[in-house]
Amino acid sequence: MSSQVVVGVGPVSFADVVAVARSGAGVVLGEDAKDAIVRARAVVDELAAAPTPAYGISTGFGALATRHIPTEMRAQLQKSLVRSHAAGSGPEVEREVTRALMLLRLSTLATGHTGVRPETAQLIADLLTHQITPIVHEYGSLGCSGDLAPLSHCALALMGEGTVRTAQGAVVPAADALAEAGLKPLELEAKEGLALINGTDGMLGMLVLAITDLRRLLRTADIAAGMSVEGQLGTDRVFAPELQAIRPHPGQALSAANLSALLADSGIVASHRGPDCNKVQDAYSLRCSPQVHGAARDTVEYAATVAGLELASAIDNPVVLADEGRVESNGNFHGAPVAYVLDFLAIVAADVASISERRTDRFLDKARNHGLNPFLADDPGVDSGHMIAQYTQAAIVSELKRLAAPASVDSIPSSAMQEDHVSMGWSAARKLRRSVDGLTRVVAIEVLTAARALDLRAPLTPSPATGAVVRLLRESGIAGPGPDRHLSPEIEKTVELVRSGAVLAAAEAEIGELK
């Protein structure tokens, strides 16, 4: 564990989410959060003791909210809620997703608007710190009334029930993992079961992680595009700032500036800059890269604005208004704001992958690659070169187009028509994760193919930035041009270099941080 994240009354940051989800950072509750939790709990305790029914405290839930639950049955009410709602099915969700949703649920509890006890919030922090991760399943959330099933599986672990993964990755009963860590299971009290499961934390956690990945991927896509423009004897003049200024979308200007920096001092670009060049203009996939990548950037930043607002929210129903001493029902658990941008980002991933695949394909067609061998093959006919690497890209791009179909336009009523319009935000988040993975693979194949083309342009030399990326691949064990060899391992190695940020770092080491 390299660090600790302090969860207070205010929102956690993107960096906090990534640190806990991916780097295993521990979690501590801030003193302001503890105070807010105590104040809110006092309101819940007062309402629980009152004869008047209060939703979520002394009543049933959803379509069963009309039943008043007597005091002696309320602990059982909370247990029954969690057990019945822990109804997920399908493959296990990734550890980073579960850790993110646990952190975000804790962040809402820390606002003092949910009414849990301090020890309940503390146990979530303890599970995160001890790397105890509840088993959460792919299916079960409609993205409304919160991510109910995923959060219920986490709440079940707090009760010492269900299964978890230890820090070492072993699947064990939750009770055993808690005991091993010196932690005691919770006996849930009034309102706590509902407070633990009624949030958009799963879809929000996946949104934050996707935005983090896409910000890196879009800069890497600029690198891939720069390598392709260079390798296909394209011009860098179309990326000039004065041309971007007359269509002042901010993302476009950033992407064009990156492309100009990446192509600076390229011997290949300089070789055809003079009056002997008879090309009028480059194909759209080269010339319009800043327009596509830039629109993608602007969309990602809009999504980041939505995510920031959601991080600053307290999602629960009912919510505690401690200063006014009351609890009120609301609809803030509806996942529509998050679901929409999750779907929007899947469109972005599909289109950026689409233009990347088109740039790659141009390298392989003798009629369009400006003097390179067909398919960049060593001995065309005997060798196939990168022919099937483009097939792999095309298969992924086709899948990404299917994943771009929005989940948020669907709604299936539930809970006896009490919950008659839902967001499907969890489903939007799950498919976005697949989209981000697909985009990573498509960009990696473009980088791999462009690197081979740049080698084939020798003795002309690439720019310092693109040359550094080619060196990274070669130093990572990916050989240069030559007879056909098993290509899949080279693709997978390049995918990891893109995913890890190594490709981005190699270029930035030469020219400074990309925008």
pLDDT digits (tens, 9 = 90+) for 83-112: 999 999 999 999 999 999 999 999 999 999
CA–CA separation, 203 and 423 (whole Å)? 11
- Burial of 138: CB neighbours in 10 Å, binned 0-12, 13-18, 19+: middle
What's residue 418's pLDDT? 81
- Selecting among 55, 284, 302, 391, the annotated active-site residue is 55
Question: What's the rounded mean pLDDT across residues 16-29?
Answer: 97
Residues 163 and 261 both lie in one domain? no
Burial 74-103 (b: 16+ CB within 10 A, else e): beebbbebbbebbebeeebbbbbbbbbbbb
Tokens 């990916």 sit at which residue? 478
Q: Let me know: does 203 contact 211? Beta carbons within 8 Å.
A: no
Tokens of 84: 């019945």
For range 310-332, the mean pLDDT: 91
Q: Is the pLDDT of residue 409 over 50?
A: yes
Query: Do 272 and 179 sit in the same domain of this protein?
Result: no
Burial class for 459, CB neighbours closer than 10 Å (0-12, 13-18, 19+) = exposed
Per the confidence metrics, is the pTM higher than 0.85?
Answer: yes
User: Picking from 182-196, 272-286, 371-385, 403-417, which range would have the lowest pLDDT averaged per residue?
Assistant: 272-286
Given 133, 168, 199, which residue is the final one in a domain?
Answer: 199
The kind and range of the H/E element at 126 are helix 118-129
DSSP-derived secondary structure for 377-424: -SSBTTB-TTHHHHHHHHHHHHHHHHHTS-STT----BTTTTB-----
What are the φ and ψ backbone dihedral angles of 138, each rounded to 5 degrees?
-60, -40
For the chain, percent of residues with pLDDT exceeding 90 = 85
Mean predicted lDDT score pLDDT of the chain: 94
Question: What would the two tokens of residue 452 be?
Answer: 């081979």
Q: Is residue 195 domain-shared with residue 211, that is, in the same domain?
A: no
Residue 276: predicted pLDDT:
62
Read out DSSP for 424-455?
Answer: -HHHHHHHHHHHHHHHHHHHHHHHHHHHHHHH
Write down the pLDDT at residue 419: 84
Looking at the predicted structure, is the pLDDT value of residue 512 above 90?
Answer: yes
Q: Say if residue 489 is exposed, middle or buried (CB neighbours under 10 Å; 0-12, 13-18, 19+).
A: exposed
Residues 287 and 429 in one domain: yes
Token reading at 79: 């247990």
Average pLDDT value for residue range 234-243: 95
Taking the C-alpha atoms of residue 378 and residue 430, their distance in angstroms, rounded to an integer, is: 41
Q: Locate 98 and state its tokens.
A: 């579960």
Confidence class of residue 155 from pLDDT cuts 50, 70 and 90? Answer: very high
Count: domains in the chain: 2
Range of 320's domain?
Answer: 206-511
Tell me which of 184, 199, 214 is where a domain ends: 199
Residues 255 and 143 occupy one common structural domain:
no
Structure tokens at 426: 């969890």
**Is 210 in the same domain as 195?**
no
Question: Using an 8 Å Cβ cutoff, are 216 and 504 in contact?
Answer: yes
Q: Rounded to an integer, what distance in angstroms lies between the CA atom of residue 51 and that of residue 496?
A: 60
Separation CA 26–CA 357 (nearest Å): 41
Question: In this predicted structure, what is the pLDDT of residue 1?
Answer: 45
* 195 and 290, same domain (yes or no): no
Residue 284 among the catalytic residues: no
Q: Which pLDDT band holds residue 278 (cuts at 50, 70, 90)?
A: low
Q: Could you please report the per-residue DSSP string of 473-512? A: HHHTT---S-S----HHHHHHHHHHHHTTHHHHHHHHHH-
Are 30 and 156 in a shared domain? yes
Question: Which CATH number covers residue 103?
Answer: 1.10.275.10
The answer on 188 and 248 residing in a single domain is: no
CB atoms within 10 A of CB 394: 16
Place 68 in a pLDDT band, splitting at 50, 70 and 90: confident
Question: Distances in Å between the alpha carbon of 317 and those of 39, 144, 191?
Answer: 17, 11, 10
Last residue of a domain, one of 144, 172, 199: 199
Q: Are residues 166 and 215 in the same domain?
A: no
Q: What is residue 504's predicted lDDT score, i.e. its pLDDT?
A: 98
CB 28 within 8 A of CB 107: no
213 token code pair: 């990945």
What is the pLDDT confidence band of residue 47, given thresholds at 50, 70 and 90? confident
- pLDDT in the model for residue 2: 57
Q: Are 200 and 146 in contact (CB under 8 A)?
A: yes
Residues 143 and 249 in one domain: no
The tally of CA atoms less than 13 A away on the side-chain side of residue 346 is: 28
CA dihedral 212, 217, 222, 224 (to 10 degrees): 160
Torsion (CA) 385, 389, 394, 397 in degrees, nearest 10: -150
For residue 58, the model assigns a pLDDT of 76
Taking alpha carbons only, the member of 407, 324, 405, 290 closest to residue 39 is 324
| Locus of tokens 């003798």 | 366
CA distance 303 to 321: 29
Q: Are 514 and 222 in contact (CB under 8 A)?
A: yes
Q: Report the range of poorest mean pLDDT among 333-337, 394-398, 439-443.
A: 333-337
What is the CATH number for 356? 1.20.200.10
pLDDT of residue 62: 67
Q: Which residues share a beta bridge with 419?
A: 414
Residue 239 carries which DSSP code? G
| 240 and 153 assigned to the same domain | no
Residue 274: pLDDT over 80: no
Asked if 88 and 160 touch (Cβ cutoff 8 Å), the reply is no
CA geometry: angle 87, 92, 95, nearest 5 deg: 120
End-to-end distance of the chain based on CA atoms, in angstroms?
31
E-strand ranges in 167-232 read: 171-173
Q: For residue 10, which amino acid is it?
A: G
Please name the amino acid found at residue 456.
L
